[in-house]
Amino acid sequence: MAVSVALILVVILVPFIGVVNGKKEELEGCDLYNGRWLYDSSYPLYNSSQCSFIEFEFDCQQNGRPDDLYLKYRWKPNSCDLPRFSARKFLEKYRNKRIIFVGDSISLNQWQSLTCMLHSRSPHSEYLLERVQGVSTFTFLKQNVSLILSRNALLVDIAHKSWGRVLKLNAIADNDAELWQGSHVLVFNSWHWWLHRGRKQPWDFVTDGDRLYKDMDRLVAYEKALLTWAQWVNENIDFTKTKVFFQGISPTHMNAKFWGNYDGDSCGEETRPVFGPPHPRKRLPAQVILERVIGSMSKRVHLLNITRLSQHRKDAHPSVYGIPGRHIGMDCSHWCLPGVPDAWNELLIAELTSG
């Protein structure tokens, strides 16, 4: 099979404006995920026009979204302050290292957020962007820091047979295993594609051990796949060299009234976050499974617990502004950039800082 490679080399000079106000000792013992969204006139961290590589589906301002208040909120933990983002210090810390995001288009959302956070605030942002099949690599050439996105929505293997696509709940694909090993930071994510049915369903059959099924309960399948992933990580990742994260479930807000403090019937009419506890108060079933699997692992995987804080942000989805000039569809799953994924990355950086 022919492999296509797209290369982009760009040099842009911009003033460095990042500062750091947080220290490691201030973060230790702090629950980073228990907090609130605060208005901050200094936000957002960047302008999407500084990053031509952002997918147009996430560039809500460029696509005509008329309001901008959703850009002006930052996440504030109750018992500490997050480190103020510094591109220079981050790139120096991860010189000659690889950071890999593995997952679906929500991972794409977060990966593009971090690449733009770094690129827009780097003094000499010479970079190389390449894509080989399902793997995209954004390399800052001066520091040789590679931010990699591996498009792998289910984490486990899908075998392509003459009679259909087979989801193998007990296997990790060899090419994925090879990519994941040797990285310095791994950020996994999986959930949204487990819900797809019909033409969007990415498999035709499911295998669990020696048994072949046409389909099965999605939560059951999700947990079996996570257990396979967990076993592989326990046995194959060197935790003295690699820090492993799993991103919590990113919530959708298709029925905005369900979440309280609403402006309309869908996320497309939302202009304010949820202030106060969001509804529902119960944890999402997939989040319960994810936390149970991570808690059962012999090695420490860090939960990037973005679910609850993201539930507050019913105002920050692309809605009808995900496709320029075509106000069709309603995207209440992904997030505008700049936006909520920037806060996820601030939390990721705080986790990496605190050790």
Return the active site residues.
105, 331, 334
With residues binned 3-state (H G I as helix, E B as strand, rest as coil), the percentages for the chain, rounded to 5, are 30, 20, 50
Do 233 and 299 touch, CB atoms closer than 8 A?
Answer: yes
Contact 226, 296 (CB under 8 A): no
Burial of 178: CB neighbours in 10 Å, binned 0-12, 13-18, 19+ = exposed
Q: What is the distance, to the nearest Å, from the Cα of residue 85 to the centroid of all Cα atoms in its chain?
A: 18
Question: Which residue, 196, 216, 194, 197, is CA-closest to 205?
Answer: 216
- DSSP H or E stretch at residue 346: helix 340-354
Q: How far apart are CA 274 and CA 102, in angstroms?
A: 29
Q: Are 104 and 193 in contact (CB under 8 A)?
A: yes
How far is Cα 333 from Cα 348, in angstroms, rounded to an integer? 21
Amino acid at 355: G
* Amino acid identity for residue 67 in this structure: D
Nearest alpha-carbon partner for 344 in 19, 134, 125, 85? 85
User: Please, is 235 exposed, middle or buried when counting C-beta atoms within 10 Å of its C-beta (0-12, 13-18, 19+)?
Assistant: exposed
Q: Which of 37, 30, 57 is nearest to 320 (CA)?
A: 57
C-alpha 91, offset from chain centre: 19
User: What is the C-alpha to C-alpha distance for residues 146 and 2, in angstroms, rounded to an integer?
Assistant: 24
Reported residue count of the chain is 355
